[in-house]
Amino acid sequence: MANLTLVEAVNQALAWEMAHDETVVVFGEDVGVNGGVFRATVGLQEKFGIERVFDTPLAEAMIAGLSVGMATQGFKPVPEVQFMGFIYPALDQIVSHASRMRNRTRGRLTCPMVLRAPFGTGIRAPEHHSESTEAFFAHMPGVRVVIPSSPVRAYGLLLSAIRDPDPVVFLEPKRIYRAFRQEVPDNGEGLPLDKAFVTRPGTDVTLITWGASALETWNAAGELADEGIDCEVMDLATVSPMDKETILESVSRTGRAVIVHEAAISGGLGGEVAAVLASEGLYSLEAPVIRVGGYDAVPPLARMEYGYIPGVQRIKDAVHECMES
């Protein structure tokens, strides 16, 4: 069994699925010879050949559009967009085509593709390398948005995303690409795309999170436990379509919810979770639902990025506020 980082688990999942399904192809900018700027595709070209793992011209709309074309004709493209900040030329292809090909052809053509992109702040990168705009994609019917926050979930969720018959935007939190290691058995077992993961059971309050914020949320829960507040921590993972059932079940027990994400708070998916609780879980609630997120500001350059995203103290303060109301 291999002890892997999140990015290594991505690589292991790609390798497994390529070995077991010859229709899977990987391409994008610098994914071949260079193995990806974060090494997510390292070694794949050597293993599976330049026909199935290749570098493309520098054009994101092209990467996404080629994928739509290939996917409709029997391939399973797993393209990479190098950073989420450069994904916007591809947005047109995802929004106008990938997400609705099945619907507009009444199932005649489908788009089984996985668009991978690293996202989020925290690596002191230049401008446009720190966005968390998962809500853009989550707003689109017909596309799944999946965000792993541990090596085990990166492996299992990516396998399921590739096997899924519909388009998936798979966003990898690069801040925790190498933050910790886990045993990740290379057994080809996928994880469900319709389930949120309770990573820490608790009874007092439910902390709902995804992406790199799972790390601070986890740490906050640990510190709060020392104060006697027993937090349940939930990684939403597939942020669209959302697993309402697990959210509602948890909050029916705890009666309190704090949502933590890195993306700008307004129009962020925390609002969707809060809406689920307001419309379907209101009578379980003992306190207002609290959202902690990035501020409604452009993600700042490196000097201020850790002031922008929710830190452990801000999460703890939100939990206290929730517990005291």
Partner 1 sequence: MPVVAQFEITYTQFLDEHGKAQQELPEFAADADEMARMYRFMHLTRVFDRRCINLQRTGQVGTIASSNGHEAAQIGLAAAMRPEDVLAPSYREHGAVIWRGVRMSQLLAVWGGDERGHNWDGARHDFPYCVPIATQCLHAAGAALAFKMRGDEACAVALCGDGATSEGAFYEALNAAGAMNLPVVFWVTNNRYAISMPVEGQTAAQTLAQKAIAVGISGEQVDGNDLIAVRNAAEIATQRARSGGGATLVEALSYRLADHTTADDATRYRPDEEVEQASRRAPLHRMKRFMEARFGWTDEQETALIEELEAEVEKEVEAYLATPRPKIEEIFEHQFANMPAALEAQREIARRYPVPD
Q: Which residue has the tokens 């290379």?
A: 186
Active site residue 129: yes
CB 148 within 8 A of CB 174: no
Give all strands (DSSP E) within the chain, no chain letters. 2-4, 24-28, 53-55, 76-77, 114-119, 144-146, 168-173, 182-184, 197-200, 205-209, 231-235, 238-240, 257-264, 290-294
62 touches partner 1 (CB under 8 A): yes
Catalytic residue, candidates 20, 97, 129, 320: 129
Closest approach of Cβ 82 to partner 1, in Å?
8
Q: Which residues contact 204 (CB under 8 A, 6 or more apart)?
A: 229, 230, 231, 232, 254, 256, 323
User: What is the SS3 string spanning 215-283?
Assistant: HHHHHHHHHHHHCCCCEEEEECCEEECCCHHHHHHHHHHHCCEEEEEEEECCCCCHHHHHHHHHHHCHH
Site residues for partner 1, 65-104, by CB under 8 A, read 85-86, 88-89
- Could you say which of 8, 17, 29, 204 contacts partner 1 (CB under 8 A)? 29
321 touches partner 1 (CB under 8 A): no
- Could you say which of 2, 23, 37, 142 contacts partner 1 (CB under 8 A)? 37
Using the minimum distance from each CB to partner 1, give the nearer residue, 37 or 198. Answer: 37
Task: Determine the size of the site formed for partner 1 (CB under 8 A).
Answer: 42
Using the minimum distance from each CB to partner 1, give the nearer residue, 158 or 224. Answer: 224
- Could you say which of 302, 320, 321, 323 contacts partner 1 (CB under 8 A)? 302
- Could you say which of 43, 49, 107, 126 contacts partner 1 (CB under 8 A)? 126
In the complex, which residues of this chain contact partner 1 (CB under 8 A)? Answer: 29-30, 32-35, 37, 55, 57-62, 85-86, 88-89, 124-129, 265-266, 295-298, 300-308, 311, 313-314
